[in-house]
Structure 1
Amino acid sequence: MTPDRRPAPWFPGTGPGTGTALPLICFPHAGGTPSLFRDWQAGLGDDVRVVPVLLPGRGVRLRETPYDTMAALVTAVADALLDRGLADGGYALFGHSMGALVAYETGCELRRRGLAEPRHLYVAASRAPQLPAGRRDHLLDEIQLRAQLRALGGIDGDSAVADDYWARRLPALRADLAACETYRGPPRAPLRCPVTAYSAEGDPVAPPDAVAAWHDVTSGPFRRRHLPGGHFFLSGPSRGRVLHEIRDGLAPTGRAPALTAQRNGSWT
């Protein structure tokens, strides 16, 4: 089915790219919504402008058909960013799980269209794009998929609220998983921007070695941090540490701490 191409609120509550704050384009996990980033602006200060992305098939876009291939999704995201002027004067990217792959591909697509690379690429809880997915959760039946998400901490119990949440999110979730799990990044020149990659303890979706492999996507500085909290660590105490790090990393020149290349290893 062809996704709905009518104008839609890709960036709810976000106006055109104006002012001096650096846009941080934020992509959630499969089936996720901008609510993942609802308190990020307060944690990042005035130098960063948080721009969460609302993908089709959820929230006010519930009636739209979600994308189930990475290429089509990224093309639409890049079009929307350019339409709103959000990548014209510098930008950074953040993505969690599937969102990490979308963020990376978006940066590459904007570069292909002649725009500058992101100021910084932050990726969390995701394998590197050159690695095979190793999972086919999008092919699981409904009972199996729900059990899988519950095991990862993505569904809270069996309440009526959770049941309603599940019913509304299932089509988008399955499409997102298909886009992610059938994707493998094509050979291309590495980015030159800094990349920071986050893995989490006990995350079966993105084990540390799969996250460390993000070092291949850039010739610039690379850092990897290993945090507690499992696959959805951004919903726990580790979120504050991530926000502090992003705020320092995107501070205006002269106020930011030095970022040196770290090609191997991890830091905590």
Structure 2
Amino acid sequence: MSPVETRSRTAAWFPGPAPEDGPAPARLVCIPYAGGTASLFREWQRRLGPEVEVVSVQLPGRGLRLREQPYTASAALVPDLASALVEAGLCRDYALFGHSMGALLAYEVACELRERGEQEPFHLYVSGSRAPHLYGTREDHLLSDEELRALVSDLGGLERDRAVDTAYFERRLPVLRADLRVCETYRWRPRRPLRCPMTAFSASRDVLASAPQTEAWRDYTSGSFLRRHFQGDHFFLNDGPTRERLLRSLSDELAGAGADLPARAAGSQSAHARREAPWTS
């Protein structure tokens, strides 16, 4: 593959525009939930301000990548996404955010990059997701179309206009099934914890990621861990007051992150580092 083809393929993963004023001090790479697109994070750049560059990930099978086959297994998706991040030069001064499936991918990509000798993210944000070792207990990708639509509706992922929702859902159904298969065939393997701080976001009515299941992320970092609990359902980041609280929390945590990055890159440990997980090697 030529350098031009490589750049073009890599750019497809990150469809957002480059910052108008050049690179920001810190970068937040955002990975959507199952069936989601990069447009989920369209307004985040404006909300998080010029100190943070928001990079939205577009997975195959949606948006301008509609003609590409979606992945059905994390074993193929994770290394390809990690390679795209490396090729795009996005693995310095970066944090990772993921919601639901996106959280699982963010964790696995962070581990993959570490194994390649790349810099860990300076922060990992996991949202609406139980800890990785708790995956593998559902088979929602095998549900009928109507059953799957009812599930997404019950989780808060559809609006009230049934005609609009039905058309939207039917267009997304193939990629949703593929993404659910990525999650439901995933099997965690023990590795030493990440060193970066981690923040986990949970919601009061999220039946896919309860507060205790979200709290279980604590053992996946030897750095500081914070869990923030909101009112809402599984899709609490989509709109409304809870999304505003989420963005405000991210803004507060990322504020001034650029000034701290040199010390973090030099391997400094958080003053609030609490423990090493029992499977540390």
Q: Same fold (TM over 0.5)?
A: yes
**Offset at 1:61?**
1.1
Aligned position for 1:241? 245
Give CA deviations for 1:182-230 in whole Å, capped at 9, x if unaligned: 1122110100100000110111100111100000110100001110111
Q: Which runs of 5+ in 2 are unaligned?
A: 1-5, 261-269, 276-281
Summarize the Cα distance change of 1:259–1:138 in structure 2 as closer, same or farther, 3 Å threshold.
farther
Aligned length: 256
Report whether the alignment pairs 1:204 with 2:207. Answer: yes
| Greater helix share, structure number | 2
| 1:122-175 deviations in Å (ceiling 9; x for gaps) | 001101012233221111111110110011111224533222211211111000
The answer to whether the aligner puts 1:28 opposite 2:32 as a matched pair is yes
Task: Tell me the residue number matched to 1:46.
Answer: 50
Deviation at 1:242, TM superposition (A): 1.7
1:1-268 equivalence runs, <5 A: 7=9, 9-15=12-18, 19-87=23-91, 89-157=92-160, 159-235=162-238, 236-252=240-256, 260-261=272-273
Q: CA deviation at 1:83?
A: 1.3
Residue 29 of structure 1 contacts residue 98 of structure 1 at CA under 8 Å; is this kept in 2?
Answer: yes
Shift of 1:254: 8.9
Distance in 2 (alpha carbons) for counterparts of 1:40 and 1:262: 31
Q: 1:84 to 1:60 in 2, by over 3 A?
A: same
- The 2-side partners of 1:230 and 1:254 are apart by 33
Q: Distance in 1 between matches of 2:144 and 2:271?
A: 45
Tell me how large the CA RMSD over aligned residues is.
2.2
Q: Displacement, 1:32?
A: 0.3
Identity of aligned pairs, percent?
Answer: 56
- Aligned-partner SS, 1:229: coil
